[in-house]
Amino acid sequence: MSNKNLSLLFTGQGSQFSEMGIDFVNKYDWVKERYSISSKILGYDLLEAQKDPKLLNLTQYSQPMIFVYSSIIIDLCRDFLQKNYSKIIMAGHSLGEYCALYFAQTLDFEDMLEVVKCRGDSMSIVSDPDKYLMYAILKKEDFKIDLNMFGNGVYLANLNSDRQVVICGLKDIVNKFKEQNPIGKYIPLNVSAPFHSDLMRDSSKIFNEKIEDILFKKINLDLISNHKLINYKNISEKDYINQLSLQIHSPVMWSDTIEYILQNEIDTFIEIGPKKTLLNFLPKDFQGDKKLFSNIEDIQHV
């Protein structure tokens, strides 16, 4: 084991694409079986659903798609990473928090997929791409974000870095905000609900009720939650459900999360997920290694 400190970052929703998993299915029989098991749990053929552009970006479909894909990468690299780094601290962006919990082996694959399915289904009650909208805003270099500018139906969902925030709300209200506040480049996200806002409170309650009988195992790795940067390692496993429920309607303070993680003298960041996203939010002055584990080529030497 090296004496290096590692931070694992797990990608969230919006990173999905239609061909996810095909290369792994063609290479590993156990992955083919995992997709078969997943399809039985979900009630539909997961790989076929990914091919449908109408389903790919819908919350109740995209969340299981991303989790299953990420779980494959996790199972291929977990042992190697735990043996080769002296300290691991993790964080997942929204859905990615569930992937981090899976890496920490709080639940087995089937149970975690059930939890993710419940999350996607619960959040889908406000899932309507014709009604809601989320924008990532790449702000102008000279503009400083004032959190007081949000409100009146426009919610700050993610504070990803000093350059990017994500807002959400009803489409008409958010677009009016965009017109009135030319603070940077507005990029519409491939999601269908106003995640991490007060509009998700009913979803949070439903989710809590659906998974109240799930028994999580206590984790022995540091995992920083999206909600108030609470470390799962420092709370009771009985509180995991409540923590995950609060995460659904709380903003993701990702910039603060990375700042906290960097206080642990991190030598390497590895992002796990379908596409590179979170590494883009690291401070420009970070001098350590940055790696992406997103496909067979990335992890073939692991």
Q: Are strands 222-224 and 87-92 parallel, antiparallel or unpaired?
A: parallel
Contact in structure between 11 and 69 (CB atoms under 8 Å): no
Contacts with 186 (C-beta within 8 Å, 6 or more apart), sequence order: 135, 136, 137, 178
Indicate the SS3 state at residue 270: strand
230 and 171 within one domain: no
Dihedral over alpha carbons 210, 33, 278, 102 (to 10 degrees):
50
**Which of 167, 188, 209 is a domain's end point?**
188
DSSP code, position 151: B
Identify the helix (H) or strand (E) that includes residue 253.
none
CATH number at residue 51: 3.40.366.10
- Please indicate, yes or no, whether residues 165 and 120 belong to a single structural domain of this protein: no
- Residue 185's alpha-carbon distances to 41, 135, 150, 166, in angstroms, are 40, 9, 17, 11
Secondary structure of residue 156 in the 3-state scheme: strand
Q: What is the pLDDT along the chain (302 residues), one digit of tens a residue?
A: 567 899 999 999 888 999 999 999 999 999 999 999 999 999 999 999 999 998 998 889 999 999 999 999 999 999 999 999 989 999 999 999 999 999 999 999 999 999 999 999 999 999 888 899 999 999 987 777 777 888 899 999 999 998 899 999 999 999 999 999 999 999 998 777 899 999 999 999 999 999 999 999 999 999 999 999 999 999 999 999 999 999 999 999 999 999 999 999 999 999 999 999 999 999 999 999 999 999 999 988 77
Type and span of the H or E element at 200: none
Cα separation of 32 and 55, whole Å? Answer: 21
CB burial of residue 30 (10 Å; 0-12, 13-18, 19+): exposed
Q: What is the pLDDT of residue 148?
A: 84
Q: Identify whether residues 123 and 140 lie together within a single domain.
A: no
Number of domains, the chain = 2
Is the same domain home to 10 and 120?
yes
Interacting residues of 132 by C-beta distance below 8 A, sequence separation 6+: 126, 168, 169, 170, 171, 192, 193, 194, 199
Q: Using DSSP bridges, classify how beta strands 155-159 and 164-170 pair: parallel, antiparallel or unpaired.
A: antiparallel
Statement to judge: residues 223 and 170 lie in one domain:
no
Domain boundary among 142, 161, 188: 188
Both 16 and 84 in one domain: the answer is: yes
Range of the domain at 21: 5-127+197-299
Asked if 159 and 276 sit in the same domain, the reply is no
Task: Tell me the three state secondary structure of residue 77.
Answer: helix
**SS3 state at 257:** helix
pLDDT at position 1: 55
pLDDT of residue 2: 65
Length of the chain: 302
Amino acid at 82: Q
265 near 4, Cβ under 8 Å?
A: no
Distances in Å between the alpha carbon of 135 and those of 1, 157, 178? 42, 9, 9
CA proximity to 70, closest of 107, 43, 96: 96
Same-domain check for residues 180 and 232: no
On whether both 23 and 44 belong to a single domain, the answer is: yes
